[in-house]
Amino acid sequence: MDTGRRAVLDWATRFDIIQGVARGHLYFHHDSYVKVIHRDLKVSNILLDEKMSPKISDFGLARIVEGTQNLENTQKVVGTRFGVLVLEIISSKKNTSFSLYDKQLGFLG
């Protein structure tokens, strides 16, 4: 994240972005006529408009799930876990920027 833009992202703005992404995610999984699993939800695939409203982009790895098919029955987990995305938004740091004793750990480590 550009350090000059960090001031724009106060806690309320960050929370609004996280909520917007969660609403979009919920829409894809439950409310949309065609169920979609994005499979590559990460910070670089979240676009912000002029009002800082998030828009989910890059559906290259997305999968459409048939109406009778269960969302848990996907063949492979791909991409970033939603919790890691939230931690990146909160901290303004990439998952890969965390290390301990010269070991690259990431947030989950």
Residues acting as catalytic residues: 40
Burial bucket for residue 61 (CB in 10 Å: 0-12, 13-18, 19+):
middle
**Rounded to whole angstroms, how far apart are CA atoms 106 and 81?**
12
